[in-house]
A and B are shown apart, each in its own frame.
Chain A
Amino acid sequence: QSALTQPRSVSGSPGQSVTISCTGTSSAVGYYDYVSWYQQHPGKAPKLMIYDVTKRPSGVPDRFSGSKSGNTASLTISGLQAEDEADYYCCSYAGSYTWVFGGGTKVTVL
């Protein structure tokens, strides 16, 4: 159950796009299409932003999109806004009813 690998931080100016990578193994990210992404503002609970690699829950802006290639999943935020500044975590189903999270990425809006 090794944690997924994410960059510690990414940054962008308002209106720009940023992409967060999430690298796992062939038995987690690479094997299952069950990658989800969570946004967490300081002192708040995580919020689901993307699930099943590419799907967006209702209410999540379409500026948020997900993708996957091999053992690496990605979250892209297009048209970056001030309220997007937060920590983002990827998560993958890892088989046998276990889940693994990434270490988290801090998104800074310059």
Chain B
Amino acid sequence: EVQLLESGGGLVQPGGSLRLSCAASGFTFSNSAMRWVRQAPGKGLEWVSAISDSGGNTYYADSVRGRFTISRDNSKNTLYLQLNSLRAEDTAIYYCAKVSGYRFDYWGQGTLVTVSS
């Protein structure tokens, strides 16, 4: 059974940093591209970042490029998202998602990031 478990969310002040983690199990993590998607409170889904199966290629939405960094450790079956220079508008639930083809076939339960003073 595929499982994705996010952690690392919390309350942070504007300008601060957080590192989110996503522990994966139930599939061959090193063969799967992965994504981060976020959802602001009461709002829709927004694609944030993508990483290839090897970690050698990374991609970002314009809204986070230069502030967020996606990475992975295939030896630990874990995906990461480093969030820097956080803004109020980054407040959201952050989901990690496994990719198959061009679809997000499995999602974690999410971790809440709140940016507020």
Interface residues of A (CB under 8 A from B): 1, 3, 32, 34, 36, 38, 44-48, 51-52, 57, 89, 91, 93, 96-104
Q: Which among B10-18, B75-83, B84-92, B105-113 touches the partner chain?
A: B105-113
**Size of B's binding interface in residues, CB under 8 A:** 22
- B85-105 CB contact bits vs A (8 Å, 1 = yes)? 000000000010000011111
Inter-chain contacts of A57 with B (CB < 8 A): 105
> Nearest chain B CB to A1's CB is how many angstroms away?
6
With beta carbons under 8 angstroms apart, the residue of A32, A36, A93, A101 that contacts B46 is: A101
* Apart from A32-B102, A46-B107, 6 more pairs, CB < 8 Å: A51-B103, A52-B101, A52-B103, A91-B104, A96-B59, A101-B44
Inter-chain contacts of A93 with B (CB < 8 A): 102
A91 touches B45 (CB 8 A): yes
**Nearest-CB residue, chain B, relative to A4:** B44
B45 touches A101 (CB 8 A): yes
B102 touches A98 (CB 8 A): no
> Nearest chain B CB to A30's CB is how many angstroms away?
15
B62 part of interface (Cβ distance < 8 Å): yes
Inter-chain contacts of B61 with A (CB < 8 A): 1, 98
**Nearest-CB residue, chain B, relative to A34:** B102
With beta carbons under 8 angstroms apart, the residue of A44, A96, A100 that contacts B47 is: A100
With beta carbons under 8 angstroms apart, the residue of A46, A89, A97 that contacts B59 is: A97
